[in-house]
Structure 1
Amino acid sequence: MRNLSGYLRDDLRIRSESEARQSWTVNGARVAVGAPWVVLLLMATRPEVIERYQSPAGALVLVLGAGLCVLAYRLMIRLGRLPVERRVLR
């Protein structure tokens, strides 16, 4: 029983460490997706930048950029997800 309790404690410790590192991955994904939009907002204070994005090509760039950001974020979250442990006893 002592061996089993030792294994379970080690497993819980490793799991909690993995969850902490996974939260770093999630925060990194959020920063990576949000940073270009913050830069775009800062650039939007310039009138010539606003003129460029008011064209159809500029709107297309914004829409494609937003779509790719959403796709990349969902992919990063999915790849960074911890596997769910299967229960042995129910």
Structure 2
Amino acid sequence: MIEKRGAQKVFNVKLSTKGQIVIPAEIRKMIDVSSGTTLQITVGDDATLIIRKKPTALDWSNLIAGIPNEVVSYNEDGTVNASKSPHFAEWMSEDE
């Protein structure tokens, strides 16, 4: 059974005699989980449960794929050589 609360969808599930719950197919499709996927359950002080899909190595790889990777070169005076390390120099000057 699905209940809507604003933008949230609330699914009612039953606990089996073995302490298991079935995650409805609609939820599994929404969060892209299947058999063997590791989930994290967080228990709040008020007995709320938050179930999250644990990030996989591929998730982390995709997350960092766009981060530039460069060797940082320094000038003789200890400042960053912006021509050899442009991404690092730009990042260091963002708060200036």
**TM, length-normalised to structure 2:** 0.28
Structure with higher Rg: it is 2
Bigger strand share: 2
Bigger helix share: 1
**TM, length-normalised to structure 1:** 0.29
